[in-house]
Amino acid sequence: MDRIEELLLQYREEMMETVQKWVRIPSVKGEAENGAPFGAQARRALDTAMEDCEKFGLKTQIFDGYAGHADLGEGSTRDALAILAHLDVVPVGDGWVRDPFGAQRIDGKIFGRGTSDDKGPAVAALYAMRAVKEAGVPLRRKVRLILGCDEECGSSDMAYYKKVTEMPRSGFSPDADYPVINIEKGGSHIRFTGEMSGDGLQVLSMQVGERANVIPGFASALVEGGEEVAQQAEAAGQRLGFPVKTTLGNGAVIIETTGLTGHAAFPAHGKNAIGQMLLIFRELGAQGALKELADCVGMTFNGENLGIAARDDVSGELTASLDMIRIENGCLDALMDVRYPVLFSPERMFQLLSQRLQYLTASDAGTRPPHFVSDRTELVQELLEAYHEVTGGEKRTIAIGGGTYAQAMEEGVAFGALFPGEVEMAHQANEFMSEESIFQNARIFARAIVRLAGKQREE
């Protein structure tokens, strides 16, 4: 490993410049184009990444703009060690004080959308493969870096990839936390629909939220009323402890409230601006479906008021985050992101919702099952050893609410890239990843490759 360590030190500055180059591409999902199913910028990010892989002597292939892969070594694809990362990013959102695609380096950190989720870790994996290659480490199995472009919107990229080529059986995705995540909760998107009541507060229009997995940090709504309603809204904000701003005009009031954006898998870490607005609506006399949504959701994030709270000792508690809402022409349509425990059934969840709701209808807008890999597998044990060798950290497995590309493999786990004690910045304003973390990830990934694919591990 000494030669690999030397090489990674030599690459360090170039590695950071590569992260900057990739982050400067605003690869938010866009309109589909020929050869670019997720938009021109996502395709540009994929082409750029594959060019860098080729520059380091890896064999690359792009699959119609959905995804691409880069191979180190030879051997069966089925038995290859796969490393899966994504190049797409969530929308910028509110609250940025730096250019979200500027990739500025400040105080040892690189700022920008996608630095931690997932371009920084993807670059670290690429440079780990480069170091293993240039160090001349003999391999007993192929190592394949797979880069996709639709992880944030349902992973249709991996579905397409698996349809047109073979997916390795085993590997890891550097898109979560250390040490090793061998359990990922199930996920459901629940759509709530209902007709607005003719009584109480009249909400004329509300369009908040861009993605079902991003907690909105700002909400605005147009409600019927004048100065009295504006005063009542501001007073409600003071009572509830939420910042509220109002603007009068033409017999209506614009109400605005600011929260804190974040990742829907960790709703306790954000402040959901939709939830804040719902509680303000209730204070202003909302009735029917709108009041029910405020009563059942509001600022809660464990499903208790919906009657679906659940937990198990394997994967923890259910989380629920209402991240999109549309109110127009008297109709309400909202989307909630739910991460449910391994031992909980989505069928049971919808049964409980039907019993709880009176004015709203809950429907399944997409469900994925939980994912589990035994902690006794060679994959998990060798990844834990690689992590421990570099950090001295505890060798243990954990469960998360987030869903990663690990689920695309029969035996896939999430491995990094967030170290214990680091602040989770995925999907948040002013996202960053420290240069030291990027470098340490490359060291860990290189050791993981050697342990899981190097010939000496057989001897």
CA distance 102 to 90: 16
Average of per-residue pLDDT across 388-400:
96
Are residues 160 and 260 both part of a single domain? no
pLDDT score of 459: 41
pLDDT above 70: residue 208: yes
CATH number at residue 318: 3.30.70.360
In this prediction, residue 94 has a pLDDT band, given cuts at 50, 70 and 90, of confident
Residues 322, 437 share a domain: no
Phi, psi at residue 279, to the nearest 5°?
A: -70, -35
Residues 153, 22 within the same domain: yes
Instruction: Give mean pLDDT, residues 170-190.
Output: 96
E strands, 201-358, are 203-208, 214-215, 218-224, 244-249, 252-258, 262-263, 311-312, 316-317, 319-328, 331-340
Which of 330, 349, 368 is the last residue before a domain boundary?
Answer: 368
pLDDT of residue 457: 53
Per residue in 31-80, pLDDT tens?
999 999 999 999 999 999 999 999 999 999 999 999 999 999 999 999 99
| φ, ψ of residue 339 in degrees (nearest 5) | -115, 115
> What is the DSSP pairing of strand 180-184 with strand 311-312?
unpaired
Cβ neighbours for 270, distance < 8 A, ≥ 6 positions apart? 215, 217, 259, 260, 261, 262, 263, 321, 428
Give yes or no for residue 458 having a pLDDT over 60: no
219 and 356 within one domain: yes
Going by C-alpha positions, the residue among 278, 272, 285, 288 that lies closest to residue 255 is 278
Instruction: Summarize pLDDT for 227-248 with one digit per residue, the tens.
Output: 999 999 999 999 999 999 999 9
Final residue before a domain boundary, out of 316, 336, 368? 368
Mean pLDDT check: name the lowest of 77-81, 113-117, 366-370. Answer: 366-370
pLDDT of 205 above 80: yes
How many percent of the chain have pLDDT more than 70? 99
pTM summary value: 0.84
Peptide bond into 179 cis (omega under 30): yes
Say which residue the tokens 């992101």 belong to: 337
- Domain shared by 339 and 319, yes or no: yes
Strands (DSSP E) found in 286-393: 311-312, 316-317, 319-328, 331-340, 361-368, 371-372
* Same domain, residue pair 131 and 224: no
User: What pLDDT, on the 0 to 100 scale, is given for residue 319?
Assistant: 96
Task: Report which of 261, 279, 287 is spatially closest to residue 221, judged by C-alpha positions.
Answer: 279
Contact 301, 215 (CB under 8 A): no
pLDDT at 401: 86
- 214 Cβ neighbours under 8 A, 6+ residues apart: 90, 91, 93, 261, 262, 263, 264, 323, 427
Here the CATH number for the domain that contains residue 451 is 3.40.630.10
Is the pLDDT assigned to residue 378 strictly greater than 90? yes
Total residues found in the chain within this entry? 459
Tokens of 420: 């214990």
Q: 452 with 419, same domain? A: yes
Q: Are 177 and 220 part of one and the same domain?
A: no
Range of 296's domain?
186-368
Helix (H) or strand (E) holding 176: strand 176-177
**Least confident among 65-74, 165-174, 308-317:** 308-317
User: Minimal CA–CA distance to 81: which of 133, 163, 138, 140?
Assistant: 140
Nearest residue to 205 via CA among 189, 219, 217: 219
If asked whether residues 242 and 176 sit together in one domain, one would say no
Is the pLDDT assigned to residue 261 strictly greater than 70?
yes
With bands split at pLDDT 50, 70 and 90, how would you rate the model's confidence at 403? confident
168 lies in the same domain as 266 = no
pLDDT in the model for residue 183: 95
